[in-house]
Each structure stands twice: as structure tokens, then as C-alpha cells.
Amino acid sequence: MTNDILVFAEVREGSFKRINAELVSAASVLVDKLGGVVHIAVLGGAVDGAVEEARSYATGKVYVVKSDVLDSYSTQGFASGLEAVLKECDPAIVLFGATAMGKDLSTRVAARARGSLMTDCTELDVEDGALKAKRPVYSGKAYADVITTKATIKMASLRPNIYPAAQKTGNLADVAEVSLPITLDQIGAMVKEIVVTSAGRKDVTEAEIIVAGGRSLKSEDNFKILEELADVLGASVGASRAAVDAGYAPHSRQVGQTGKVVNPKLYIACGISGAIQHLVGMRTSKVIVAINKDPNAPIFQHANYGIVGDLFEIVPIMTQQFKELLAS
């Protein structure tokens, strides 16, 4: 067992995701205490561009599992590939992003490697060789400090937008190719198609600014006023469960307990009452701005700034003001 840390790098459509650089940043803090190096694992089909990107961040090696079998994501395929990397790399700690892929893959790999796994973490540290983490519990109402005990290999998934993206080292790390120990006919299920519902925008889990709407928007067409504000701010558009259930927005935009957990620098909640189901998904946002006609809406109890009024009047004014401000 080494003192090294392995970062699983998520690749989407051949691109190296921002969460990977954030994981490298977290890993760099930990290896300063462990005395090891940071390795990166890149798995997929067409990953040449992502591999070159990874080489500029790793201080150790970039382990590459490249195969047509991994063109589309499958839990079995990626878990088998990453398990093979673990045998080659022998790290003390493995880090994943708390994304849809990271959450799915980390559990399978932890079970196979008989490792400990701490999920959805907001802070990581090392103490006497043990991995410590802080993670939200009870729907985000409290935080638990968790520490590994007997597990030989420690694993954790980290929320996006917690650590700053790492800076490139200026050097290119060596590449170690690892064979995939599984064939296509051994995979029971895999992703066949990805339907893009928000072209040109970041997924809400990766966005630094989110403009979110609730049932008060009244229709899918009315979400356009949020889209206009988001375009000005370079933001993504989110939605409450009520808005999604009403058909105003796709499920891929849903923020909350049955949707996605987000952690942006700025969250603008428009016409969202602030039910606990929604708060679970966004209460760790750095700054929360709430717009609601009801001065007693629960969202105001958690907002840094609140505007009591009609969103159909306020949001267009905000859009125009931001346009003028950013233009100057």
C-alpha cells in the first residue's frame, strides 16, 4: 500500500470535466500530509484529449483504460476497469465526484475493493493516516464528521464547487495503460443514448450560478424569463419538483431530494416556496437570493437576500440591470 491518491476523472463526450480539477485540488491537500503523489484514472473509448488534459494535472501517473467497450457508460465495465487500475496503482485513497456517474461507480468499486466509502462530502482531511470527512445528514440540517477505521483503501465522493480547480503543473505526467478485464458480452446493461435537454449550458451540479423556478412560473413558456437572466449571468437553469411535475421543466433540471444536489456560488430562487425537499438540494449554496410574493415563504428563512414581489416583474428588471452592469 502506497501513500498515493487516485482521482477518478469523469469524461463526458471526450472532455475532461471541471470536477476532476477540483478533485485534484482536494487530493493535493491530502498528499501534502500523506507524502504521496496524485494519480489520475481515465476510462473510456475516445479519451485521448482527456488523457492529455489529465497529464497536465497529475503529479504521479495517468492510468488509462481505453476500450470500445467503454464508449458508453456501464457500471460493470467502468468498475472492472477501475478495479484493474487499483491493482496497478495500489493507492491509499480514491476520490470521486459526487455526480451521477461518481455516485454510481464509487459504490460498486468500494464493494469490490472492500474499501470504506464516504459519500457526498463537503470537506476532507487526513489524520494519522485515516481519512476524515464532513458530510451533510438529516436532509442537510446537520453535518456529520466521519472517519475511516479498519479499511485498507479509503474512498470518498466530493460535492462539486467545494474546492477550487487545481492549477496545471506545467509538466506532463507519464501514462500507464491498463487492459480492461471484461468484454462487451459480459456487461448486463449500459447507456445507449444521452438526450441533451439544456444545450449550451452546464449541468446544474457543475454550475457556479443557478437561476431556478418553481410552480409559480405557471408554464413552460414562462421559464424563458429565467433563461434570459441565466444567459446574461452565464448561469444554468434549475427547477423545483413542483415545476417539473407540472411539466414546466425537464427532470434533468430538478433540484432537490429527488433531483440533483447543487452547490453553486449563487442560487436565485424564483417563485420557490422553500419546501424541505427542495432545500435539501441547494441549502449549501454560497449565496441564496429568493424572490417570492409571499413574505412568509420558508425560503426567506434560508436566503441571504430576499425580494418580496412578483417574479414576472422583478426578474426582467434584474435581467436589464445585470445587462447594463456587465456591459459597463
Tens-place pLDDT, residues 218-255: 999 999 999 999 999 999 999 999 999 999 999 999 99
Three cell numbers at 112?
469490490
Average pLDDT of span 17-35: 94
Cα separation, 74 vs 229, in Å, equals 36
| Statement: residue 194 has pLDDT above 80 | no
Q: Walk me through the domains of the chain, giving residue ranges and CATH numbers.
A: 5-186 (3.40.50.620), 209-327 (3.40.50.1220)
pLDDT of residue 199: 60
Average pLDDT of span 310-318: 97
The answer to whether residues 279 and 309 touch, using CB atoms and an 8 Å cutoff, is no
Query: In whole angstroms, how far apart are CA 267 and each of 52, 279, 283?
Result: 34, 11, 9
Residue 198 — very low, low, confident or very high, per pLDDT cuts 50/70/90?
low
pLDDT of residue 190: 78
pLDDT of residue 30: 95
pLDDT of residue 197: 64
Residue type, 322: F
Q: Per-residue pLDDT tens for 95-134?
A: 999 998 999 999 999 999 999 999 999 999 998 888 999 9
| Statement: residue 188 has pLDDT above 90 | no
Mean pLDDT over the full length of the chain: 93
Cα separation, 174 vs 54, in Å, equals 10
pLDDT of residue 209: 97
What percent of the chain is predicted at pLDDT more than 70? 98
What is the three-class DSSP state of 258? coil
* DSSP character string of 179-214: -----GGG----------SSTTS--TTT-SEEEEE-
pLDDT of residue 39: 98
pLDDT of residue 149: 81
Q: Per-residue pLDDT tens for 31-88?
A: 999 999 999 999 999 999 999 999 999 999 999 999 999 999 999 999 999 999 999 9
